């Protein structure tokens, strides 16, 4: 019988059929255990079919995640088939939160369409933006500024971490990926890919404009100062995962210290990248600080990115050939986000540091946006701890955050859960250690009740998508 550590080593793929089935069952139960605290507290879950007390919805979702983990060459098919099964199950058996039958499904889609449209717009738009950045030749001249040993990789991760504190984590991850692709001559270690995603998520965890989840807290009335305390855990995490990842990368493919001869920066492309990012940031801040009451009615951020892209076409034409591949990756994430939105999670366990700590692991496989919305509605959290947990947790699995999905569109070899967990072990260690360092330094101190019981759905829109999926995570 294969043990869970054996699964992480990838031995499942070479085991017998019985061993595979056993391993799948073990992994499914492990994933379900992450969701059970929420499910057990859900009044709605008691009214729907269960198996051993577990809502069937969660079993179906866990099987999708297991299928993705085991058969990473067929992730899109598994996600789409799983979504279809869950929708049919809700359609004909349990109904939706918004109602039953086709009408309930339609109401749910109306409720979620802004989130999905914003996410699609950002994933596709930033895929083209990252190509603009790569073609600008800025990555080729960066080795002059980076140390030429493992410290160069760490400095790159620190830069990603920094820009993600005020920039969308998808863009930060893709820009970091473009630089890594150039300075490491296309040979990027999976452990370093995990670190890029971790840096992009950790950087936004302490800033109310750096991640969707922290923006949600800000709009709901959480002080930016309360969120900013997460910088303690974020810095500690950067050091813990950044140094091993940089050394992994240096051993795998050292940094290219000398740029190719004749390299010339394409400044118009640099201007395009800056223009698109500034447009996204301005619309993000404006909509969520001055017109948050209409933010749930239209995908403002995704559209802003595309308007900026199209305005720049006369200056430099984007590489439209990237869109089909980026769309497939986006469709995968959208399917998982929609699946997660259909889960019967209505209430979380009592607010405590233990609950916040557990939500970080749940966030690695479950959309962190509804988790954050539930936590805001519930209240009683120390928001700095929650921000770090749901923001950084999705980094532990490649599809645990939108940044991870976007980056693996650029580096498909990263779409292997076991390889990601094995090579990116330092990310999970960084989460655990950083959380408890923060707990020891600032201690758990729940903040006063918020001025509103929950944010409008506007806050749920991936303004600076981190997540989603953190993330799905």
Q: What is the pLDDT of residue 47?
A: 58
Residue pair 166/209 in contact (Cβ under 8 Å)? The answer is: yes
Q: Which DSSP state fits 74?
A: G
- Do 407 and 339 lie in one domain? The reply is yes
- 469 belongs to a structural domain: no
Please tell me the predicted confidence (pLDDT) of residue 37: 46
Same domain, 68 and 198: no
Q: Are residues 132 and 181 in the same domain?
A: yes
> What's the rounded Cα separation, in Å, for the pair 361 and 390?
8
Same domain, 356 and 446: yes
pLDDT for res 28 = 44
pLDDT at residue 362 in the model: 86
Q: Output phi, psi for 52, to 5 deg.
A: 55, 35
Strand partners, 54: 51
What values do phi and psi take at 298, rounded to 5? -160, 145
- 473, part of any domain: no
Cα–Cα dist 108/98, whole Å: 6
CA dist 182 and 173 (Å) reads 14
User: What domain range is 326 assigned to?
Assistant: 101-460
Q: Do both 136 and 22 map to the same domain?
A: no
**Cβ neighbours, 10 Å, residue 267:** 11
* 192: in domain: yes
Token output for 261: 């001869």
- Quote the radius of gyration of the chain (alpha carbons, Å): 21
If asked whether residues 153 and 81 sit together in one domain, one would say no
Task: Select from 44, 72, 94 the last residue of a domain.
Answer: 94
Q: According to the model, what pLDDT value does residue 8 have?
A: 39
Token pair 């305005």: residue: 311
Pick the last residue of a domain from 62, 79, 94.
Answer: 94
Are 451 and 392 in the same domain? Answer: yes
Boundary (domain end) residue, out of 40, 75, 94: 94
Residue 428: both structure tokens together: 């999970």
Closest CA to 70 of 122, 34, 116, 17: 17
As a whole number of angstroms, the distance between CA 351 and CA 375 comes to 8
User: pTM score, two decimals?
Assistant: 0.73
Residue 252 lies in a domain: yes
Structure tokens that stand for 443 in this block: 């201690």
Same domain flag for 68 and 127: no
Structural domain total, the chain: 2
- The reported pLDDT for the residue numbered 451 is 52
User: Is 60 found in the same domain as 158?
Assistant: no
C-beta of residue 383 within 8 angstroms of C-beta of residue 215: no
Residues 160 and 129 both lie in one domain: yes
Predicted local distance difference test score (pLDDT) of residue 450: 62
Q: Are residues 182 and 265 in the same domain?
A: yes
- Report if residue 429 sits inside a domain: yes
Closest CA to 429 of 419, 440, 421: 421
Q: What is the pLDDT along the chain (473 residues), one digit of tens a residue?
A: 333 333 334 433 444 444 444 444 444 444 444 444 444 444 443 456 878 777 888 888 888 888 887 887 788 898 899 999 999 999 888 888 888 889 989 998 988 888 888 888 888 888 888 888 888 887 777 777 788 889 999 999 999 999 888 777 888 888 888 889 888 888 999 999 999 999 999 998 998 777 778 877 876 778 888 899 999 999 999 999 999 999 999 999 998 766 666 778 889 998 998 898 888 878 877 876 777 777 778 888 889 989 999 999 999 999 899 898 888 878 887 888 788 788 877 667 888 999 999 999 988 877 677 778 778 877 889 999 999 999 998 899 988 888 888 888 889 888 888 899 999 999 999 999 999 999 999 999 988 766 544 444 333 333 333 333 333 33
Residue 386: exposure state from Cβ atoms within 10 A (0-12, 13-18, ≥19): buried
φ/ψ of 252, rounded to 5, equals -80, -45
In a domain, 161, yes or no: yes
**pLDDT value at position 466?**
34
430 within a domain of the structure (yes/no): yes
Q: What is the DSSP string of 409-420?
A: HH-GGG--HHHH
Same-domain check for residues 58 and 111: no
CA distance 169 to 163: 9
Residues contacting residue 16 through CB under 8 Å, at least 6 positions apart: none
- Whether residue 162 is contained in a domain is answered as yes
What is the C-alpha separation between 315 and 330, in angstroms, rounded? Answer: 27
Give the separation between CA 257 and CA 255, rounded to whole angstroms: 6
């Amino acid at each position: 019988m294969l043990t869970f550590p054996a699964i992480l080593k990838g031995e499942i793929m070479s085991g017998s059929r019985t061993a595979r089935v056993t391993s799948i069952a073990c992994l499914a139960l492990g994933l379900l255990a992450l969701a059970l605290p929420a499910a057990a507290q859900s009044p709605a879950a008691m009214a729907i079919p269960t198996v051993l007390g577990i809502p069937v919805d969660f079993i179906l979702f866990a099987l999708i995640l297991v299928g993705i983990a085991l058969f990473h060459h067929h992730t899109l098919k598994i996600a789409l088939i799983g979504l279809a099964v869950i929708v049919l199950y809700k359609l004909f058996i349990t109904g939706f939160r918004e109602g039953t039958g086709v009408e309930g499904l339609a109401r749910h889609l109306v409720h979620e369409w802004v989130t999905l449209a914003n996410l699609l717009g950002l994933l596709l738009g930033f895929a083209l933006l990252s190509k603009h950045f790569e073609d600008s030749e800025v990555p080729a001249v960066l080795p002059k500024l980076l140390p030429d040993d493992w410290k160069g990789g760490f400095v790159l991760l620190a830069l990603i971490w920094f820009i993600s504190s005020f920039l969308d984590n998808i863009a930060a991850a893709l820009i970091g990926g473009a630089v890594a692709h150039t300075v490491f001559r296309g040979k990027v270690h999976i452990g370093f890919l995990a670190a890029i995603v971790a840096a992009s998520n950790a950087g936004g965890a302490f800033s109310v404009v750096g991640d969707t989840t922290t923006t949600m807290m800000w709009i709901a009335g959480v002080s930016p100062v309360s969120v900013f305390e997460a910088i303690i855990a974020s810095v500690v995490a950067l050091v813990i995962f950044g140094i091993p990842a940089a050394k992994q990368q240096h051993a795998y493919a050292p940094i290219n210290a000398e740029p190719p001869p004749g390299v010339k920066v394409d400044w118009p492309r640099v201007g395009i990248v800056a223009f698109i990012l500034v447009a996204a940031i301005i619309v993000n801040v404006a909509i969520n600080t001055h017109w948050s009451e209409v933010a749930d009615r239209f995908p403002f951020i995704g559209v802003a990115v595309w308007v900026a892209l199209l305005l720049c076409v006369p200056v430099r034409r984007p590489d439209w050939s990237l869109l089909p591949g980026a769309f497939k990756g986006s469709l995968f994430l959208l399917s998982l986000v929609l699946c997660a939105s259909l889960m019967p999670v209505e209430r979380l366990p009592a607010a405590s540091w233990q609950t916040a700590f557990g939500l970080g692991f749940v966030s690695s496989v479950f959309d962190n946006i509804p988790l954050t919305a539930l936590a805001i509605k519930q209240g009683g959290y120390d928001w700095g701890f929650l921000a770090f947990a749901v923001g950084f947790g999705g980094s532990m699995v490649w599809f645990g955050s939108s940044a991870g999905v976007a980056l693996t569109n650029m580096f498909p070899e990263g779409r292997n859960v076991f390889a990601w967990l094995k090579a990116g072990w330092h990310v999970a260690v960084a989460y655990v250690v950083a959380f408890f360092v923060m707990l020891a330094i600032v201690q758990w101190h729940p903040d006063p009740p918020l001025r509103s019981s929950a944010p409008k759905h506007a806050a749920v829109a991936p303004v600076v998508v981190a997540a989603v999926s953190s993330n799905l995570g």
